Amino acid sequence: MRDHTQWMARLGMLHPLIQAPMAGVSTPELAAQVSRAGGLGSLALGPCTVEQGERLIAQVRSLTDRPFNVNLFCHQPTRPSPERDAAWLDHLRPQFARWGADPPSELHEIYPSARGNTALQAMVLRRHPELVSFHFGLPDNDFLRALHDAGIVTMACVTSPEEARQVERAGVDLVIAQGLEAGGHRGCFDPADDAGLTTRALVALLVRQTDLPVIATGAIMNGADIAELLALGASAVQLGTAFLLCPESSADPAYRAALRHQPIAATAITAAISGRPARGLVNRFHMLGQTYGRPLPGYPRTYEAGKALHRLAVAHGCDDYAAHWAGQGVSLIREMPAAALIETLANEWREAVERVR
């Protein structure tokens, strides 16, 4: 049997638990507490400028000397289409009009990709996190080689066996198997080719197909979930939604209230908020996407419109347009400090393993 635990020892992990790099919600404090508790904390640099990303990495370093993960977006930039932009903005116009405002006059690429981004790549190499992970695809080969030459572990999110084959051919060290149940953005390399596989189905396929260690993610909320996925052959799990109510996350009061006050929280996938499919708590934006029926401006151009509408609504006391990302297991969420959650999950996992022996 292959030993897929060496990478965890290399990263000083005591438990096979990774905190997902949730853009806009994960913080240096959250990453540091998870790593200090024996898991692997993560930062999401996708929405950041190079300078902002460098400050975040430095903040984690000031809080812990434990290894952590830095996550980069590797999306293909959208080809601008003034016609698509104008059509979507016109569709949103009645929503802005609720508060006497107009939508933006034009849309932009608000989140740069790591692909070919030499300034971002140079900063990451200079700051030298122990692990760098990729979402929405892979970076250019030169950057991957530079990371490996620097002794940095690499990890990429996939949603299908074909994407996993690309990851393995590129020489990435670890593969994240993201199921359809997962909260936040689907990690598809091309959203038009989403295989729609569940976490368990994808893990079962990948452990047979690849020699890489597989990290499972999607609707993992407790020790029983962890035990089941490790029994399928995953070497670790990545949890995001489970950490949203931790005091170290930056989820705002409205987000926290929505998570607490829905005993059976409904989630669904929509591209209407950002331009890429993402799972979150169902709100008015989901309905807007369902009634549109035309191509969206693409990611992240669509996101600029969504963020503008959300800011306007919040200024008038309305949270109908928030990006409250959450996975299908959200109703099982628990509210506790990150370190306590890691300890709880690790204990539950061991107890679940003992029950089946």
> 118-127 and 141-149 are packed helices; what angle lies between their axes, rounded to 10 degrees?
10
Contacts of the segment 160-164: beta carbons below 8 A, 24+ positions apart: 160/188, 160/193, 160/194, 160/195, 160/197, 160/202, 161/195, 161/202, 161/205, 161/206, 161/209, 162/193, 162/195, 163/188, 163/189, 164/206, 164/209, 164/210, 164/212
> CB burial class (10 A; 0-12, 13-18, 19+) of residue 239?
buried
End-to-end CA, the chain: 19
Helix (H, G, I), strand (E, B) or coil at 177: strand
Counting every residue, how long is the chain?
357
Q: pTM of this prediction?
A: 0.96
Q: Are 26 and 249 in contact (CB under 8 A)?
A: yes
CA 22 – CA 58 distance, rounded (Å) = 18
Helix (H, G, I), strand (E, B) or coil at 228: helix
Tens place of pLDDT per residue across the chain (357 aa): 355 679 999 999 999 999 999 999 999 999 999 999 999 999 999 999 999 999 999 999 999 999 999 999 999 988 889 999 999 999 999 999 999 999 999 999 999 999 999 999 999 999 999 999 999 999 999 999 999 999 999 999 999 999 999 999 999 999 999 999 999 999 999 999 999 999 999 999 999 999 999 999 999 999 999 999 999 999 999 999 999 999 999 999 999 999 997 656 799 999 999 999 999 999 999 999 999 999 999 999 999 999 999 999 999 999 999 999 999 999 999 999 999 999 999 999 999 998 877
* pLDDT on residue 5: 78
CATH number assigned to the domain with residue range 6-75+111-249+332-355, chosen from the 4 options 3.30.360.10, 3.30.70.2740, 3.20.20.70, 3.40.50.1970? 3.20.20.70
* pLDDT on residue 136: 98
* pLDDT on residue 1: 37
Sheet harboring 214-217: ordered strands across? Answer: 17-19, 236-239, 214-217, 174-178, 153-158, 131-135, 68-73, 41-44
CA 129 – CA 136 distance, rounded (Å) = 20
CA 164 – CA 158 distance, rounded (Å) = 6
